[in-house]
Chains A and B, each alone.
Chain A
Amino acid sequence: MNSFFQLIARHRVLASTLFLAIFPFIMPYEALAINILIFGLFAMGFNLLFGYMGLLSFGHAAFLGIGSYVTGIAIVHYGVPWGAAILVGIIGAAIGGLIMGFLAIRTRGIYFSMVTLALGQIVYYIFYKAESLTGGENGLRGVRVDEFNILGIPVDFLNPLVKYYIILFFVVIAIWLISRILSSPLGAVMEAIRENEKRAAACGFDVARTKLLVFVLSAAICGLAGSLRALHLSIVPIDSLHYLQSGQAVMMSILGGMGTFFGPFIGAAVMLYLEDVVTTFTKHWMAVVGLVFMFFVLFFPKGIWGTILSKLQINQDSK
């Protein structure tokens, strides 16, 4: 059992790809699988900043929303092909991250969380008011991608399973990128800063610059999640920018295990699956999810994946 988990940890990108390839067949229906895919990526991008560098942002809805809106606007108003629309969505979110990060990283702890929350609300308000571009309260409708060709082969984007695999393609690239970042020199500096800012600075690392760089990378990944969500839903609802989305990212990361590679994805899967199951018999699904969340915070503070990892660690030591 141990060696199985070690194998997964060593080949984390391959393991995620294989698992996600069969994932839609485990789920009750494809749309839920796609939703988990998108929010799993969103939580992973968020976790880069939160779990690995110790910065708790409450404004990450902004990047999910900017990614969605920029992609949506590019398709609806400018007729941009969907691939390029995803790219501009990512770039838009990265620019948003640069601006928000620049303003927020000078603050610490609770102040950082509050500044990001406030900036996220400003972004919400801007998109809410720019009605001619964004559709305001009604959301941006008509983000349609029906059929297209990949290397001459026609692809039906309306087929949910096909849609799943196309979205998975982008998610896997992002997971690969996150894995690269975490094992890179920057990844090591991120963890060093999370552990001890003073020591990291005394070792010659520019803490502010590193924080900004990671903030932008995190925003770009969350932006991709937003772009994919716009394609998936064919509409960009204004609630993409709502601070509840930021809260979801926090909850998913903590539930699955902050600062672990798979944790946020597992957290997203558990939360969204629970939501799906519970809503069939009560609309108060938030209460049930809240109880599950509290149970984990109280008894398994390392989250689902974090707890599994630490149990394995103990087993290894006792051998």
Chain B
Amino acid sequence: MNSATTTPILEARHVSKSFGKFKALQDVSTSFMPGTLTAIIGPNGAGKSTFFNVLSGAFPPSSGQILFNGKDITGMQQHEFARIGISKSFQITNVFKQLSVHENVRVAAQMETARYNFLRNAQSYPKPIEIADELLHRVNLEHLRNKKTGDLAHGQQRALEIAMALACNPSLLLLDEPTAGMSPEETLVMMELIRTLASERTVILVEHKMKLIMGLCKRIIVLHHGEFLAEGTPEEIQNNAEVRRVYLGQG
């Protein structure tokens, strides 16, 4: 057995995060194995987003460690996360609204080939253009490639952001409520996309709507009041008395 199958791709060790006096996250430890799809759930204010932000490099934890493939990456900056292969999409859509749809993905894809060259024409690098073409096809936006991104519907912008997150070919993809604000039809399409993404890389997603992920993930982590509450298969979580009390019981 090689170490790749035994070392978690991402591990949180005793992670805490405080904002002033408010303890958003307290001593959370968990790990994620390569090639798995895990959902982090919890009621409002459970610390999901804080945990997501710590895992994805938006800010470092107040204490504790984050390990990526066994290497300590605590305190690395956001752009360094992307360089080592951790990519993300945000809860509130973050795209480049004044730029065209294709350009959004092309810029994201140029991270590998030419980051800061300022004398060559950007269009003279074929690789980012190819990646953008391919990813737009994948998220069904190729017919809108020359549209201004700000003119796209909400669901389309969210799909575009996933394409941008994939542009650096990450080994780990983190998604913060990928279906937030989507119509039921858009949600189904997004869920299907996430399912195929999970077949080729590790995916961690934060989700508020528990029903959605029951059929999607094999493993669920539940946070409550900033603390680790439970983890297990969807069935285990559904049958967990404590989870039912804090979460499912709320209707």
Contact = CB atoms under 8 A, between A and B. Distances in A.
A200 B110 CA distance: 11
B118 A180 contact: yes
B60 to A, nearest CB: 14
A26 interface: no
B172 interface: no
B99 A191 contact: yes
Contact of B82 (A185, A191, A202, A213): A202
Give the size range of B's interface with the partner.
35 or more
B8 to A, nearest CB: 22
A98 B246 CA distance: 54
Nearest to B164: A203
B88 to A, nearest CB: 6
Nearest to B92: A198
B67 interface: no
Interface string B71-98: 0000001110111000110100011111
Contact of B106 (A188, A201, A206): A188
A186 interface: yes
Interface string A191-227: 1101110111111111101100100010000000000
B107 A180 contact: no
B107 A192 contact: yes
Contacts of B56: 202
Contact of B88 (A189, A195, A202, A205): A202
Contact of A205 (B90, B111, B117, B123): B111
Interface in A68-118: none
Nearest to A201: B78
A194 B82 CA distance: 19
Interface in B163-178: 164-165, 167-168
B122 A183 contact: yes
Q: Main SS of chain B's interface residues?
A: loop
B139 to A, nearest CB: 16
Contacts of B96: 191-192, 195-196, 199-200
A195 B165 CA distance: 16
B165 to A, nearest CB: 7
Nearest to B167: A203
A187 B103 contact: no
A150 to B, nearest CB: 26
A270 interface: no
A275 B234 CA distance: 73
B119 interface: yes
Nearest to B82: A204
Contacts of B117: 184-186
Contacts of A202: 56, 78-79, 81-82, 87-88, 90, 94, 165
B119 A184 contact: yes
A179 to B, nearest CB: 10
Contact of B79 (A180, A184, A204, A217): A204
A278 interface: no
Contacts of B113: 185
Given A204-B83, A210-B116, A185 B125 contact: yes
Nearest to B90: A198
Given A185-B125, A205-B79, A196 B95 contact: yes
B76 to A, nearest CB: 12
B118 A181 contact: yes
A174 B117 CA distance: 17
10 contacts: A181-B119, A184-B117, A184-B119, A187-B122, A189-B107, A195-B98, A195-B99, A198-B94, A202-B56, A202-B165
Given A185-B125, A198-B58, A199-B164, 14 more contacts: A184-B117, A186-B116, A186-B118, A187-B118, A188-B103, A188-B107, A188-B122, A191-B99, A195-B98, A198-B78, A201-B77, A202-B79, A203-B82, A204-B83
